[in-house]
């Protein structure tokens, strides 16, 4: 343990690009502060829809290999060097969208044994000893099977870590306060005529939007906004970021706000003391010095 930095953050995500969209500013902030930031990605997103025509030939394993390169470039932009693929590269395949035939592929993550996958994640926890774990809620933020499975695996791994005596002190879900989303979409409607996108998404398209009362933590990533936008641009097969880095589109070509303050809900552990009810640090209340 003496060779580990005082602060250690573990993020569990389903596909390459999820980490940059949800937590890019947070990851860049903590990496710059000297924390050990570890990303575990559960699949390579082999069934993702490709946006650029020049890359439209990519599919299956070739797309997965390309997205792995995109992930590496995104992590360089965020200053994160510890990136793992759950169970090793190619262990779990992308499951596709919910209620499709892809969900039945025996090699896909949705069909994985949760206990087995959780024990693979436990191996990372044993090594890294994170005090903080970030993942999705029980609906995976928006109902994607791989996101739901990542939630199940992450929480089971945290339970196993507790039983083994290497507990994770705090577990957070990715969130967006509804009022923040509403304000951001109002600005988007005003800015849309000047953007290279024709139509805006809806708040329902943003994963993890909840009532503000559920939000426990807000991480101001303003100084790392450019790093987040650069990381998102690295995932070029999956999304396009508008000039200025305030908006982006996925394969549906519907514009969304790019959030640089990132929000969380503490679901396990003790909330740190705050002046306004919101933590400003994922490690708040922990002895990390």
| 154 located within any domain | yes
User: Contact 120/40 with Cβ under 8 angstroms?
Assistant: no
Backbone φ, ψ for residue 177 (5° rounding)? -65, 140
Decide if 272 contacts 284 (C-beta within 8 A): yes
| Residue 151 and residue 111 in contact, taking contact as beta carbons nearer than 8 Å | no
* pLDDT for 28: 98
Residue 211's CB is within 10 A of a number of other CB atoms, namely 10
Which residues carry a binding-site annotation for Zn(2+)?
Answer: 15, 18, 147
pLDDT at position 274: 84
The structural domain count of the chain equals 1
Closest CA to 233 of 222, 253, 249: 249
- The domain that holds 56 is classified in CATH as 3.40.50.10320
Let me know if residue 237 belongs to a domain. Answer: yes
- Domain-embedded: residue 186: no
d(CA 65, CA 277): 43
Burial of 282 (0-12, 13-18, 19+ CB in 10 A): buried
Domain membership of residue 48 as a residue range: 8-177+209-245+259-268
256 DSSP β-pair partners: 248
Decide if 200 is inside a domain. Answer: no
Q: Does residue 286 lie in a domain region? A: no
Per-residue pLDDT at 289: 58
Question: For residue 207, how many C-alpha atoms fall within 13 Å in the half-sphere facing its CB?
Answer: 22
Indicate the DSSP class of residue 165.
T
pLDDT, residue 2, reads 57
Pair type for strands 261-268 and 170-177: antiparallel
pTM (2 decimals)?
A: 0.96
Collapsed DSSP state (helix, strand, coil) of residue 25 = helix
Residue found under tokens 């969208």 = 97
Residue 67 maps to a domain: yes
The pair of structure tokens assigned to 224 is 């790392």
Q: Is residue 143 part of a domain?
A: yes
- Give the annotated binding-site residues: 15, 18, 147
Mean pLDDT of successive 10-residue stretches along the chain, which has 289 residues = 87 98 98 98 97 97 98 98 96 97 98 98 98 98 97 98 97 98 98 97 97 97 98 98 97 97 98 90 90
Is the Cβ–Cβ distance between 255 and 249 less than 8 Å? yes
Structural tokens at position 82: 């510890």
Q: Does residue 252 sit within a domain? A: no
Q: What is the dihedral of CA 51, 183, 136, 148, to 10 degrees?
A: -60
- For 192, other C-beta atoms within 10 Å of its C-beta total 14
Alpha-carbon distance of 148 to 133, in angstroms, equals 16
């Amino acid at each position: 343990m003496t060779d580990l930095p005082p602060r250690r953050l573990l993020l569990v995500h389903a596909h390459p690009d999820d980490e940059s969209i949800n937590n890019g500013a947070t990851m860049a902030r903590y990496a710059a502060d000297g924390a050990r930031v570890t990303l575990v990605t559960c699949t390579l997103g082999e069934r993702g829809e490709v946006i650029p025509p020049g890359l439209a030939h990519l599919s299956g394993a070739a797309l997965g290999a390309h997205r792995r390169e995109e992930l590496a470039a995104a992590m360089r932009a965020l200053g994160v060097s510890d990136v793992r693929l759950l169970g090793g590269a190619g262990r779990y395949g992308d499951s596709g969208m919910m209620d499709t035939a892809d969900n039945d592929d025996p090699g896909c993550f949705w069909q994985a044994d949760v206990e087995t996958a959780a024990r693979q994640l436990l191996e990372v926890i044993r090594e890294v000893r994170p005090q903080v774990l970030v993942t999705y809620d029980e609906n995976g933020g928006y109902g994607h099977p791989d996101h739901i499975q990542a939630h199940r695996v992450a929480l089971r791994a945290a339970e196993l870590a507790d039983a083994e005596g290497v507990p994770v002190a705090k577990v957070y879900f990715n969130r967006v306060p509804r009022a923040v989303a509403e304000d951001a979409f109002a600005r988007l409607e005003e800015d849309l005529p000047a953007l290279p996108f024709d139509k805006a998404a809806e708040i329902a398209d943003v994963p993890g939007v909840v009532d503000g009362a559920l939000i426990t933590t807000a991480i101001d990533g303003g100084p790392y906004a450019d790093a987040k936008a650069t990381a998102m641009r690295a995932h070029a097969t999956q999304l396009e970021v508008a000039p200025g880095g305030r908006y982006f589109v996925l394969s549906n070509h519907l514009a969304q706000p790019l959030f640089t303050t990132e929000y969380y809900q503490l679901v396990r552990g003790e909330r740190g003391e705050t002046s306004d009810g919101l933590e400003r640090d994922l490690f708040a209340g922990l002895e990390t010095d």
